[in-house]
Amino acid sequence: MKSRFVSFLLTVITCIALVGCSIPDNAIETSPTEVSTIATVAQTSVSELDSATEATTTPLSTKVTTTTAATTSSTTKASTTIITAIIEAVAPSFSFSDVPPYSGSPYVEINNNTPFFTEFPSDSFEIYSPLDNLGRCGVAYVNISKELMPTENRGEIGTIKPTGWHTANYSGIIEDIYLYNRCHLIGYQLAGENANELNLITGTRYMNVEGMEPFENKVANYVLSYNRHVLYRVTPIFEGNNLVANGVLMEAYSLEDNGVGVKFCVFCYNVQPNIGIDYATGDSWSLIEENASPAVEPQQEVVDKGMPIVDDENTYVLNTNTHKFHYPSCSSVNSMKDKNKDYYTGSRDDVIAMGYEPCKRCNP
């Protein structure tokens, strides 16, 4: 009787062991969660997980293939595997030196109107770069879809003061009076970002309305009409430590039709006709001469006082970076970097013949 009981017990233990062996060590359970992240988006590459056969506690980095984040666990004894891919808002290889001088158009095509994208993730996401050490915005990178677009009117954004911000009033010169707008890098109509300081720069009314808005409308109309995705990136371009951007690089590429519906790469100039701007500080001045009687010499609206009288020869301060020349007493000289500063004594015509343009502020 005892031997039969022992035999039965051994049979039960053997069956339990066989059932346990039928469960694979690499059984995986995935629970996806959608994300919309500022600055960086964490993701899981499912294709990497499918090929995983052993669990590891070391995080891995993989290329971006999807914008769905999943925490994936592997139930193998006492270990858990998490594989993460990172999307970064990488700025294109581009600088202000690549931009032709402003010549009257609010924007110019760059790189044959072809965006600099090298990766083409398929689902919606938003990435806004952290502010730099001067408080300036960086590249904003999104994949626009109907799901990302706002369903309510834009709220108040007046609490945000981007770098270089001034309330500059030019009634009679600018249609809407004020020189500067709080410009969304990613337009509100595209992603619903309201008072997000990572998405607002100091931009002229001209750049905002004449430069950026037509391209924002193009993207919005396409996405709403066809319910598709547009990869979209806006990069503010600052020279040196300037607080006001010289302009923005705008790139867009419609994904489902490989750029047939939307594809552009343009630079929008942060300028305002008839207004001079000091991009280092955000200060500005009118370039339109005041009305005066024929007996009175017209003067600039904003002119530094104490300028020397123009003789055959004068000493000028040359900006070797902007190729403008100034009187030594011009306020622009104070903000000029020493490495860009040079002096020349001679006639005005000689300086112009050297390739320099007169400063619009002191009008040498």
| Same domain flag for 122 and 141 | yes
Distance CA(52)–CA(75), nearest Å, equals 13
* 294 occurs within a structural domain: no
Domain that holds residue 110: 96-277
pLDDT for 313 equals 65
Neighbours of 104 (CB within 10 A): 7
| Same domain flag for 76 and 184 | no
- The model's pLDDT over 28-70, given as tens digits with 9 standing for 90+, comes to 333 332 333 333 333 333 333 233 333 332 222 222 222 322 2
Model confidence, pTM = 0.59
* 248 occurs within a structural domain: yes
| Same domain flag for 136 and 116 | yes
Amino acid in position 153: N
Residue 13 corresponds to which tokens in the numbers above? 């233990």
**pLDDT at residue 297 is higher than 60:** no
pLDDT for 19 equals 40
| Same domain flag for 327 and 239 | no
| Same domain flag for 205 and 313 | no
* 176 occurs within a structural domain: yes
Cα dihedral value 72, 76, 78, 80, nearest 10: -20
* 61 occurs within a structural domain: yes
Are the C-beta atoms of residues 38 and 128 closer than 8 Å to each other? yes
* 288 occurs within a structural domain: no
pLDDT higher at 5 or 118: 118
Handedness of CA 169, 334, 274, 315 (dihedral sign): positive
pLDDT for 87 equals 55
* 41 occurs within a structural domain: yes
Q: Which of 243, 277, 311 is the last residue of a domain?
A: 277
- The model's pLDDT over 199-226, given as tens digits with 9 standing for 90+, comes to 999 999 999 999 999 999 999 999 999 9
| Same domain flag for 179 and 140 | yes
Q: Quick one: average pLDDT of 1-10?
A: 43
Binned at pLDDT 50, 70 and 90, residue 274 comes out as very high
Q: What's 42's DSSP letter? A: E
Number of separate domains in the chain: 3
| Same domain flag for 312 and 250 | no
Phi/psi of residue 211, nearest 5 degrees:
-90, -60
Are the C-beta atoms of residues 223 and 274 closer than 8 Å to each other? no
* 307 occurs within a structural domain: yes
| Same domain flag for 73 and 103 | no
| Same domain flag for 130 and 110 | yes
Residue with tokens 């017990």: 9
**Helix, coil or strand: residue 229:** coil
| Same domain flag for 73 and 159 | no
Q: Which of 277, 312, 346 is the last residue of a domain?
A: 277
| Same domain flag for 169 and 262 | yes
